[in-house]
């Protein structure tokens, strides 16, 4: 099954979009301006039809406002960012939350889901699907939410909106841990990052195919899509071997991913449109900062000089 046919969506390329520039971040509350986001969307509009937003912050509200006001031809997967409701002591970089903080997070998660519902109903012609969260159930997450709570959030969204609902997560938990969640969502969204799992570029695409096919075979009656797949162009060695990252490798993986997903009619959101300097550690070569197809100053990397039709 594929999402395009199941819901009658037009076929098109898809990309994750976070527009934060130097000195901006969701953590600081300093957001891109209307004109900055408009500039980004005008860059993206000729090449991608679908964009994915991770939360319902002012950033997301501005994106939707611009698409609506400027009559841009995008459809948006809109998500709510849900924060930790339990401590995950196995996360090597996460903090330990107090009971008061966890209680506050639970209340804020409901607020975020309410924002998602409001925006989905305000922009039904733009928002084509909803995500009840992002990477909140995998073993290594720093914002752990129990599967039972995610299920309740999916049900809330389905009861109060008309768009199909999903949950975005690494492929591994979908095999077993999320089997009951899989029954609740309208379609399954997986993430595949061969370079994070120390795969060489020569085996990367085959690995992503295996990730996808394993979940598709596990749930033959559910559409499965990829909501994150990409390749970092720099690394300081934190989690990714520096030798495995380059603009050349990014171009190889992206081209292979594009050819395969289009041939198989699999909606695939490439991660990520632009480099994100706010992420990860302060180190310049922190890999979290270097997944963009464009640099932070909006210059195209080599991948966009070699990919078909760009």
CATH of the domain at 64: 3.20.20.80
Number of domains in the chain: 1
Taking the CB of residue 264, how many other CB atoms lie within 10 A of it?
Answer: 13
Quote the distance between the C-alpha of residue 131 and its chain's center.
Answer: 10
Per the CB < 8 A criterion, the answer to whether 92 and 281 are in contact is no
List the domain range (segments joined by +) for residue 291.
Answer: 3-306
pLDDT tens digits, one per residue of 101-146: 999 999 999 999 999 999 999 999 999 999 999 999 999 999 999 9
Per the CB < 8 A criterion, the answer to whether 273 and 45 are in contact is no
Per the CB < 8 A criterion, the answer to whether 206 and 175 are in contact is no
**φ, ψ of residue 212 in degrees (nearest 5):** -65, -50
Query: How far apart are the two ends of the chain, measured CA to CA in Å?
Result: 29
pLDDT tens digits, one per residue of 238-292: 999 999 999 999 999 999 999 999 999 999 999 999 999 999 989 999 999 999 9
Asked if pLDDT for residue 168 goes beyond 70, the answer is: yes
**φ, ψ of residue 130 in degrees (nearest 5):** -125, 145
pLDDT of residue 307: 57
> Cα separation of 137 and 198, whole Å?
22
- DSSP secondary structure letter of residue 25: B
pLDDT tens digits, one per residue of 28-82: 999 999 999 999 999 999 899 999 999 999 999 999 999 999 999 999 999 999 9
Place of tokens 């595949």: 192
- The pTM score is 0.97
Quote the tokens at residue 67.
Answer: 């698409």
> Cα separation of 131 and 252, whole Å?
29
Helix (H, G, I), strand (E, B) or coil at 128: strand
Torsion (CA) 178, 180, 184, 189 in degrees, nearest 10: 20
Place of tokens 């990860």: 280
């Amino acid at each position: 099954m594929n999402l395009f046919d199941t819901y009658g969506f037009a076929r098109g390329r898809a990309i994750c979009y976070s527009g934060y520039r130097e000195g901006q971040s969701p953590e600081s509350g300093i957001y891109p301006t209307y004109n900055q986001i408009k500039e980004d969307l005008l860059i993206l509009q000729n090449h991608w039809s679908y964009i994915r937003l991770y939360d319902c912050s002012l950033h997301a509200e501005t994106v939707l406002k611009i698409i609506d006001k400027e009559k841009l031809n995008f459809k948006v997967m809109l998500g709510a960012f849900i924060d930790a409701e339990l401590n995950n002591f196995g996360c090597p970089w996460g903090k330990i939350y107090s009971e008061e903080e966890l209680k506050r997070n639970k209340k804020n998660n409901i607020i975020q889901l309410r924002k998602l519902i409001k925006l989905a109903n305000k922009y039904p012609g733009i928002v084509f699907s909803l995500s009840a969260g992002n990477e909140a159930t995998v073993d290594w997450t720093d914002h752990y939410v129990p599967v039972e709570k995610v299920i309740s959030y999916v049900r809330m969204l389905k009861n109060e909106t008309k768009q199909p609902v999903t949950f975005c997560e690494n492929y591994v938990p979908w095999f077993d841990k999320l089997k009951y969640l899989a029954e609740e969502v309208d379609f399954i969204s997986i993430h595949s990052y061969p370079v994070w799992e120390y795969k060489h570029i020569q085996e990367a695409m085959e690995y992503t195919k295996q990730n996808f096919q394993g979940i598709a075979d596990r749930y033959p009656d559910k559409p499965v899509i990829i909501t994150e797949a990409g390749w970092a162009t720099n690394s300081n060695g934190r989690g990714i071997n520096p030798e495995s990252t380059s603009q050349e490798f990014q171009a190889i993986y992206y081209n292979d991913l594009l050819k395969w997903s289009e041939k198989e009619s699999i909606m695939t959101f490439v991660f990520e449109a632009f480099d994100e300097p706010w992420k990860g550690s302060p180190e310049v070569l922190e890999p979290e900062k270097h997944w963009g197809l464009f640099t932070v100053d909006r210059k195209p990397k080599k991948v966009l000089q070699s990919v078909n039709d760009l």
